[in-house]
Structure 1
Amino acid sequence: MLAALVAAGSALPATPAHAVNATHATVVSADPANWTPHALDGTVYRILQIGNRVYLAGSFTKVRNANNTAQLAMPRLVAFDATTGRIDTTFRPVVNGTVKALAASADGRSLYIGGAFTTVNGVAAPRVARLDVATGARVAGFAPAALNNQVNDVRLVGGRLIVGGAFQTVAGVARRGLAALNATTGAADPTVNLRLEGPRVTTSGVTAPVKVEALDVSADGSRLVFVGNFSSVAGQPRHQLAVAGLTAAGVTLSGWSTTRYQPQCAASMPTYLRGVDISPDGSWFVAVTTGAAFPGTLCDAASRFEFGAETGGKQPTWVNYTGGDTLLSVAITGSAVYVGGHQRWLDNPLGRNSAGAGAVSRPGIGAIHPVTGRALAWNPTKDRGVGTGELYATDRGLFVGSDTTMVAGEYHARVAFFPLP
C-alpha cells in the first residue's frame, strides 16, 4: 500500500467544495502572521471562518487586538476580521460556559455552537445554540433538545446537526455520546441512534462514561468517523473508533473496523483517542492519540487509515510516534498532515519519554508527509502547555488554537495563523 501511495504522491486530490479543511498545494509558512488577536486566558478550543469573519471558541474571558494593550471582556466566543485581525465588537453573545464546537449554517448567515454552557444571551440553551453571525443574537425558531452534558464536536450535514460529546440523554431519551438535531428547529432527530455502549475500564479500574471526543464527516456528507470512550456501536465491537454511513434516511454502522485501539495505553486513561480528520477526497483519515509510549500500540501517535472496503481488521498505512507525548489535533490539507499537542518530537518510535534514534524535534506542532508518514521539514516551534487543541486550514493558511502564548518565538496568545507562502 505504501509503495502505491508514494508512486501516486504527485497526484494528491483537489479540494471538494465542502471540505472542512482547505486543500493546499504547499506547506504553510513557518512565520506566523502579526495581525491575529490575543486570547488572554483560558484555551481556544475551536476556530471557524465564515465569509470574512473568523470565530474563536473556548474558555477564555478576555481578548485584545494585536499591537494594542486595551483588554476586552468578550468571554468564550469572539469574532474578528479575517484580513486585518481586528476584533468585531458588534458580535457580543453572552455564553455562560465553555464553547468547544462550531459549525456554519448552509447559507453562512448563522453559526451553531456546542459546549458546556446552559444559557446563551440569558435564555436556556442546554449545550447547543444557533446564533446570528453578525450580532450573536439567537436565531428564532431554533429551540434545541436538551443535552444533559457537554458537547465536544459538531458537523452540519444537510438538515442534520451531528453532535458528539459526553451527554447521555437528549430530550430525556438515552443517546450516549452521539446524536443529531434538526438543523432548523433543534428537535432531536431519531434517525441517528447508533447505541454507543461499553465504557472502557483499565487494568487499574479507571473508567468513565461513554462519550465522543471528536468526529468528522467526509466532504460529500456520506461518511462519519467518530472517536471516544466506547467498545460497542450498534451492537458490534468497535473500540474507541467507528465509521458510519450517512444517508437521507439516517445513519448506519459501517463494516469498517479496526482492533488497533482495543489495547490499553496508560492505566489512568480508559480512552486515549483525541482527534480525527478525513482527507479532502474522503478516501482516508488520520487519528491522533495520547496515552504514553507502549511498544506495539498506537499510543501517543498519528495514524493514517484508508477507508477502502467495508471490512474488519484494518491496519494503519503509516504511524508517526511522538515517543511519549500527547497529540490532540490533526488537519489534513493534501500537502501535509498537521498535528498538534504537547509533543516534543515526531519520527520517534523508539523513544520512551525521550528522543530515540531518528527522532526530530517538533515542539507543540508539526507536519507529516501524507504519503510517507515521515515528518516534514516545517518546524515553527511552539510552547507546549496542555497542547495545541485546534488546527484549522482555510484557503489562505492554517489557524492554530491552544492554551499557550509563544509561537515561532513570538507572542501569539492562544491563537496564531500561518499563511500560505
Structure 2
Amino acid sequence: MRTVGVYTAALSLAAASLTGLGTVTAAPAAALTPPVGITADDLPTWQTNGIVWAMAEADGVVFAGGTFSAVRPPGTSAGSSQQQQAVNFTALDAATGAPTDCELSFTVGSGNATVRALAVSPDKETLYAGGFFGAVNGVPVSSLAAIDIDTCTPRTDFKPSVNATVRALAATDGAVYLGGDFQTVGGQSRSRFAAVSTGGDVLPWRADADEPGRAVEVTPDGGTVMLGGDFFTVNDENSHALAAVDASTGAVEKSYPLGFFPQTSVVKDIFADASGVYSASEGSGGGVFDGRVAYDLGTLDQRWRDTCLGATQSVQTHQDVLYSGSHAHDCSSMGAFPNQERYHLLAQSVNDPELLGWFPDTNDGLGEMIGPRTMAVSSAGGRDFLWVGGEFTTVNGDGQQGLTRFADSPDTGAPPVPQTEASSTAPGSVTVRWQPSVDLDDSELTYRVYRNGSSTPVHTVSASSKPWSRPQLTFTDTDVAPGSTYTYRVSASDGTNTSSLSPPRSVTPALAPEAYAEQVRADGAELYWRYDEPSGTFAADASDTQSAGIHRGGPARAVTPGAVPGTGTAVGHDGVDSYTYSDKRRPRPDAYSIETWFKTDTTAGGMLAGFGDRILQNSSRHDKHLYMTDSGRLIFGVRSGWTRTITTPGSYNDGEWHHAVATQGSNGMRLYVDGQLRASNLLVVSSQDFDGYWRFGGDNLRGWPSRPSSDYLSGQLDESAVYPGVLSAAQIEQHHALGTAPSDTVTAVQPVADTYVNQQAASTNYGGSGKLAVRGSTAYEAYLRFPLPEAPAGQVLKSAALRVQLTSDSFAGSGDPARIVPVTGAWTETGATYTGRPELSSTVLGTLTGATTPQGTYSTLLDTAELASRLGQDLDIALTGDGTDSLWLSSREAPGTAGDPTLLLTFGAP
C-alpha cells in the first residue's frame, strides 16, 4: 500500500531528497550512531482502539486510516472517558501527536468499513483515501474518495465507483493510481490496478493483474509506476509480486518472473525516492522471502536484498536509512539473530542490507498479530518524525495502541548500566570484564572504567553492540598491589546521555597464580565461564576470546560453595527453562573439548552442555550434547550420519561436585568424569555440520537416546569451558586434580617491631614514631621484624608479599625504588640508631616501586623460596635505597591498624 504521498513528474531528483516527502534534511542527533537519524524514544501519541492500515502526511499533519472507531490520549486504556469518536480515520499534529480539528467518518451500509490506503497530492491540497466504504461524512462514495485538506471535507466531484476493496494508492499531478481486489472501476473493466484522473474519471491506463494488488508507487521522475501484490501476471506478462509499468499506458517496462520472488511470497509495500526503490515482502510456508529489496532507480535491477524471515509490511526512508515494519524473527541467513522472539521495527542503510543499531519495538497486537502495518515521515517545528501505525498494543514495552511516533531529536534515553565483573587470577593484575549495553538507537557506545571511587576513569573505550551480538569488553589493571582491595565501576555513554555507574565490584589482587583457572587458560580455552558474578544475566568469559555468556530463565546466581575450593561461586539451574548461552555464532568445530563441573541430585536428568542453532528458543538443530539421564548416567552424543552416543557406566546425581569433559577429534569420542576415561568410541570423528551457539544448562534433546524427563538440568554448574581442540587424558586428569586440591589460604602477619634510622640524627632512636622512612642520601633506613608461622599441614608457601601504606604527608611518595633485604645484624625497636644500625644482606627479597601517592597502599612480591626457608622463625628485613627522594610509610605505631605494614603469606597444596 502507499504510505505517503509521492513526487510528481515535475519534481527534480534534487528535490526528491532521501528524507522522503515532506521532510527536511537535518543533522542527526548527536547521540545517534550514524547513519541512523531517528531516535528509539517513542513520543506521546494519541491511540486508536483498532488497527491502523494506512498513513499519509501533509504540512505537518499525519492522516491515519484503518479499522477503528475512536482515538484516545496516550497513557489511557481502551474505553477511556477521554476518548473521541474517530470512525476509521484520524488526523494528527505530527509534532504533538494530538488530533487536529479535521474529523472524517468512513462508513458503509452493510459490513465493516475500513480505510486501507491514503495518499496526498503533490500540491498537498488533496488527500485520497481507499478501502471498503460507502460514504465519507455522509457523502456517498464507493471505496475511493478525495478529501479537500484545507476544509477537511470530501470532494463531491470525485466519485469513481470501485467494486471491491482498494488497498493501495499513489498520486501525481494528473492521476491517482490504485490497487486492490477490484475488477471494475467507474463501470469499466480494470483488474486489480487502475488509474483515474484527479477529477475522478477512469483513465485508459491498464495494468491488469491476475491476483490482488497491494502496493503502488510512482518513481521520482513520474515515468514509471511500481506495482506490488499477489499476482503472477500483469497485462498477461509473467511477473510475480512486482512489476514496473509505464505511467502513461500501463505497459510493462520491467517484469520480475517467478523465481525473483518465491511463489508463496507477495509484495506488501513499495517506497521510492531519489536513493532508489524499495519493496517489502511477506510469504508463507517453506522457502519464502519475507524481507526487503533495494532496486537501482535507473535500471530497477536489484541492488541488495535481505533475507530475514518475518513478513515485512511497510518501508520508509529517512535520510540514508530504510526503516521497516515487520515481525522479523530469523535473520541468521544475514549473519544476524537466529530464530527467536520477533523484532517489529528495523533499520538498514539504503546502500547495505546489514541491520543497523535501531531497535524500538512493538508487540504483535490484534488481528493477524503482525504488529506494524504502515509508516510515514512528516516534519514540523524543525524536527522530523517517523510515524508508525498498525495493530500493536504496546510500544517499547508500554501500553500504546495503533499509533506511535519517533523523532530525529533529542535522544533522551541513557544506555543501560553495564553488567560488570572483576577478578584476579595472577599476581600483579586485576581484570575487569563487562557486557556491552544495548541502546536501542546507539550501537556505538563509549565505556569508562572508574577505580576506587575516583571521578577520573582509568580506562576508556568505544565499542559496538547489537541485541544479538554483545562482544565482551575487558580492561586489565596492572597498577595494583597484591593484598590491597580495589573497587571498579563502569558507565556507558552515547555521547549525550550517560548511564549510572555499575554496582561496585571489589577484588583483591592475587598473591599467587590461581592454579585451576590459569591452567584452563594455558590449555587454550576459547570459552570459560566461572559464574562468579553476584547477579544479573552476564556470564563473564575468562578466556582470551571474550565469548561472554548470557543467562536466560533466571538461574540462581552466586551459589556457594563453588566447585573449585576457594575460587568463587556457581550458577544454579531450575530444570525448567534456565540456561546460559554464548551469543557468538560459530562454525562446527572439527575438534573440540567441552568441560564443566556439575552438582545435582535430580532424577529428571537434563542437558549439561550442547551446541544448538538458537539462543532464545529451543534449537531446531542441536548436536554435541552432554546430558544426564533420569538415572544419573552421563551421555555424550553427536550426529554423524546418525545419532552416536557414549554412556558412563555409573551415575552422578549424588549431590556432589563432579568434573565432566567430553572430547571429539581425529581420535574419536571420549567422555571423562572426575579425571578418568569412562566411555569412548574411537571411530566417530565428525559431528553435524551447522553454525551454532554453545549452551550450558539446557536445550532441545528431542530424538536423543534415553532422553531424560527434562531437557533442562536441575542443579549447579561451575567452571564451564570449551576448547578448540582435544584435551589429552593427562590434561584432564590435571584439571581434576587442580580443581579438587585444597584451596589456598592467605595469612596476614603484622610486625612485632619496626623502626627507622636517620643519618642526620645519627644517635636518635625512632622506635616510638608512627612513621618509617627510606632514602639513599642522606640516608634513612627502615627495619621490620615479622614472626613467620609454620606452613599448615600438607601445604607449602606459594607466595609472599609486603604491603605498606604511605603517610598522608604531601612529601610521602617517592619515585625512587626501595630494596627489601634481610637484616643479618642485631637490632631492637627501641635501641636502633644510625650509628648502631645493623648489617644487611646483599640478597634482594623484592623491590618496592611506584609508591608515589600519599595514603596510597602498595605491595611488592617477595622471594618465596627465601621466605619458605625461614618459616617458623623471625624474619628481619630492611627497606633501603640509593636515591635522594624520601619515602614515608606508616609504622605499627601509627593510629589504627589499616595502614600497618603487613606480610601476606599464601599457603596451598604443593
TM bracket (short chain): 0.7 to 0.9
Tell me the distance in 2 between the aligned counterparts of 1:378 and 1:240.
29
**Aligned match of 1:340 in 325, 332, 337?**
325
**Structure 1 position 188 matched with structure 2 position 202:** yes
Deviations 1:109-144 (A, max 9, x none): 3321110112222232111111232554222322x2
Shift of 1:416: 0.7
**Aligned match of 2:347 in 364, 367, 380?**
367
**Aligned match of 1:410 in 391, 398, 421?**
398
- The corresponding residue for 2:252 is 253
Tell me the distance in 1 between the aligned counterparts of 2:357 and 2:54.
26
**Aligned match of 1:85 in 74, 91, 97?**
97
Deviations 1:222-257 (A, max 9, x none): 22111112222223221121001324xx43321454
Are 1:93 and 1:121, in contact at CA under 8 Å, matched by a contact in 2?
A: yes
- The corresponding residue for 1:305 is 295
Shift of 1:14: 5.9
Q: How does 1:9-408 map to 2 (within 5 A)?
A: 16=16, 19-20=20-21, 22=23, 26-34=36-44, 36-40=45-49, 42-66=50-74, 69=80, 70-96=82-108, 97-142=113-158, 144-184=159-199, 186-190=200-204, 192-197=205-210, 210-247=211-248, 250-255=249-254, 257-261=256-260, 263-265=262-264, 272-278=266-272, 280-281=273-274, 284-292=276-284, 294-295=286-287, 299-309=289-299, 314=301, 316-323=302-309, 325-346=310-331, 348-349=333-334, 356=338, 363-384=343-364, 385-395=369-379, 396-408=384-396
Q: Secondary structure at the match of 1:364?
A: strand
Tell me the distance in 1 between the aligned counterparts of 2:254 and 2:56.
32
Q: Secondary structure at the match of 2:247?
A: strand
Tell me the distance in 2 between the aligned counterparts of 1:81 and 1:87.
6
Letter in 2 for 1:415: L
Identity %: 24
Letter in 1 for 2:386: L
Shift of 1:401: 0.5
Are 2:239 and 2:255, in contact at CA under 8 Å, matched by a contact in 1?
A: no
Are 1:346 and 1:360, in contact at CA under 8 Å, matched by a contact in 2?
A: no
Are 2:57 and 2:377, in contact at CA under 8 Å, matched by a contact in 1?
A: no
User: Larger C-alpha radius of gyration, 1 or 2?
Assistant: 2
Q: Unaligned regions of 5+ residues in structure 2, if any?
A: 1-12, 28-35, 410-910
Are 2:327 and 2:342, in contact at CA under 8 Å, matched by a contact in 1?
A: no
Tell me the distance in 1 between the aligned counterparts of 2:37 and 2:193.
34
Shift of 1:327: 1.3
Letter in 1 for 2:173: G
Letter in 2 for 1:98: T
Shift of 1:22: 4.2
| Structure 1 residues 345 and 173, CA gap change in structure 2 (3 angstroms) | same
Shift of 1:106: 4.2
| Structure 1 residues 381 and 93, CA gap change in structure 2 (3 angstroms) | closer
| Structure 1 residues 140 and 125, CA gap change in structure 2 (3 angstroms) | closer
Are 2:228 and 2:266, in contact at CA under 8 Å, matched by a contact in 1?
A: no
Aligned CA RMSD, in angstroms, stands at 2.7
Deviations 1:340-388 (A, max 9, x none): 122234454589xxx53xx797611111122221100111122123221
Shift of 1:64: 1.1
Are 1:348 and 1:360, in contact at CA under 8 Å, matched by a contact in 2?
A: no
Letter in 2 for 1:53: V
Deviations 1:182-212 (A, max 9, x none): 112x11111x112323xxxxxxxxxxxx211
Are 1:345 and 1:363, in contact at CA under 8 Å, matched by a contact in 2?
A: no
Letter in 1 for 2:105: P
Deviations 1:37-93 (A, max 9, x none): 1112x2111122222322111101111123564111211011122222222345243
| Structure 1 residues 413 and 263, CA gap change in structure 2 (3 angstroms) | closer
Equivalenced residue count is: 371
TM-score normalized by structure 2?
0.38
- The corresponding residue for 1:201 is none
| Structure 1 residues 90 and 223, CA gap change in structure 2 (3 angstroms) | closer
Letter in 2 for 1:381: D
Shift of 1:399: 0.5
Are 1:93 and 1:137, in contact at CA under 8 Å, matched by a contact in 2?
A: no
Structure of higher RCO (CA pairs closer than 8 Å, 6+ residues apart): 1
Q: Secondary structure at the match of 1:374?
A: strand
Letter in 1 for 2:318: T
Tell me the distance in 1 between the aligned counterparts of 2:146 and 2:70.
22
